[in-house]
Structure 1
Amino acid sequence: MGREVVKMVLEDEALELVSAVAPSAGAVDAGSFANKPNTGVIACKTIEEALSSAKADVMVDFTAPHAAYEHTKTAIEYGVRPIMGTTGFTPEQIEELNGRCIEKQLGGLIAPNFSIGAILMMKFAAQASKYLPHVEIIEYHGDHKLDAPSGTSIKTAELIAEARQELRQGNPNEKETIEGARGGYYNGFRIHSVRLPGVFAQQEVVFGGYGQSLKIRHDSYDRAGYMPGVNVAIKKVMDYSGLIYGFEHLMD
């Protein structure tokens, strides 16, 4: 994802790459990440080094859940607007970071997914849940993914929960003969996480009704598909104050 972000920034005349972080890459020019000519921007080992050595307006982060909170806090401390494509934040952390952004009069964004198609899938699922309240989510990722369920499925579940009354589904007397077989429980419905090599990123939201079913599915095939959303976020976050949770708020 970092390579794709570097490439996108270098190909947009309205944006300027001023720093990059790649702890294991060594002192290499950031242009090499995206198979571009040298940019004069040498990769830093840490967020602190990058933000202290360059005057940046925005930081884009696609790292790991265990580091996301600290990275966001560090960016805000340096007066840099965080755009976080990394998931794993707790509601308490989001609330705290929002307060920090407001104090500094900075905009920020935590987005479980930047894909336009994925956001539409979430919106359509929330709308459908008003009429077909029996629903389950199945999300598929490669076995390298660290968090389960995915941030996208959690965000989808939250939007569905806002649109429908809580309804505990399934047979009231059902019993799991293998623990976890019914998936994770959220607001009365279930989220199932599939982790397999060779899988990139897909999600199905499955609705059931009397004599019918509805499936809303989104498939991602390439990381470049997220970049139009990242580009929009970089530009729009300059006009906000506070930490926004969910890219859908920038699509209205």
Structure 2
Amino acid sequence: MGEEKIRVVVVGAKGKMGRETVKAVMNDPELDFVGAVDRTLDGVQVSEVLGFDCGEAAFYNDLGKALIDTNATVMIDFTNPSVVKGNLDKAIELGVRPVVGTTGMTPEEIANWDRECREREIGGLIAPNFAIGAILMMRFSAMAAKYMPHVEIIEMHHDQKLDAPSGTALKTLELIAKEREAMGQGHPNEHETITGSRGGDYEGMRVHSVRLPGYVAHQQVIFGGLGQTLTLRHDSINRESFMPGVVMSCKMVMNYTGLVYGLENLLD
């Protein structure tokens, strides 16, 4: 008899990221898609709504009921900051491992969820970005900052994204800040003719957020030095780019205890 599959419930399955997630879970032999959550649907077959074969899985309008009825092992959440916190609380309370792509949580909240996960002896993950290329961009940025500490970030996302700067940009800034001293950039007497022109300030580093239709998720990390610049750029052309990282995360949260923030912490 083979190993028991990881039973996955997807919250926000009707959305763009949710649809791709359901497909990815369905296509992996180690995962079992057992249910979906949407506040407007209850008892409807997921296949009927998404338009492709999703087995016998149905929609629930109550997360707790979904996790209990399906005996879920992992909850994947790609909703929004207004509901994800309650979803995390409920999943951890029921001993279900959360894999979350929604951003906007505070370090204090993350620390609390980490403690609760440890108390229940389960693993969990909150990842600003599941694209492996984006994780590498963050790592390379931290490496470059040791030698080129003057840096600005331009991140570009679709116009339906709620938080700015993006979680990926914030995580990149945090990683760079560990490698360089906080310092001002630009002329000390510079003046913004239009407020906000120089972007947000994170320990002297500037971050600029672009929100336009047509984008998915993109980021440039620009380093400046004497007579030279270095640009590290990652582009997610479509939402499929996130799926290998999502599938990998569902398996990895089975192997540790506590809540990890950032997929890079699970890579070699």
TM class, shorter-chain normalised? over 0.9
Q: Where does residue 45 of structure 1 map in the other structure?
A: 61
Say whether the 8 Å CA contact 1:68–1:89 is kept in structure 2.
no
Q: What amino acid maps onto 1:10 in structure 2?
A: M
Equivalent position of 1:157 in the other structure: 173
Counterpart in 1 of 2:131?
Answer: 115
Aligned partners of 1:152, 1:110: CA distance in 2, in Å?
12
Amino acid corresponding to residue 60 of structure 1 in structure 2: I
1:247 maps to 263
The structural deviation recorded for 1:250 is 1.2
Residue 100 of structure 2 is aligned with which of 84, 97, 101?
Answer: 84
Secondary structure of the 1:3 match is helix
Instruction: Provide the C-alpha distance between the structure 1 equivalents of 2:41 and 2:208, rounded to a whole number of angstroms.
Output: 35
Question: TM-score under structure 2 normalisation?
Answer: 0.91
How big is each residue's C-alpha offset from its partner over 1:20-69, in whole Å with a ceiling of 9 and x where there is no partner? 11223454322345543251111111322211222111100000012222
- Secondary structure (helix, strand or coil) at the match of 2:144 reads helix
The answer to whether the Cα contact below 8 Å between 1:68 and 1:88 also exists between their aligned partners in 2 is: no
Which residue of structure 1 lines up, in the alignment, with residue 73 of structure 2? 57
Q: Is the Cα–Cα contact under 8 Å of residues 33 and 54 in structure 2 kept in the other structure?
A: no
Residue 234 in structure 1 maps to residue 247 in structure 2: no
Cross-structure match for 1:23: 39
Measured in 1, the distance between the counterparts of 2:62 and 2:189 equals 52
Q: Judge conservation of contact 2:26–2:54 (CA < 8 Å) in 1.
A: no
- Structure 1: runs of 5+ lacking an equivalent: none
Is the Cα contact below 8 Å between 1:66 and 1:88 reproduced in 2?
no
Partner residue in 1 for 2:113: 97
Shift of 1:135: 0.1
Moved more, 126-135 or 18-27: 18-27
Aligned to 2:224: 208
Calculate the aligned-residue CA RMSD, in Å. 1.3
Q: How far apart, CA to CA, are the structure 2 residues paired with 1:19 and 1:156? A: 34
Task: Name whichever structure is richer in strand by fraction.
Answer: 2
Unaligned runs of 5+ in 2: 1-16
CA distance in 1, matches of 2:267, 2:49: 29
**1:176 match:** 192
Q: TM-score, normalised by structure 1?
A: 0.96
Point out the more displaced range, 131-140 or 173-182.
173-182
Q: Aligned match of 2:148 in 111, 128, 132?
A: 132
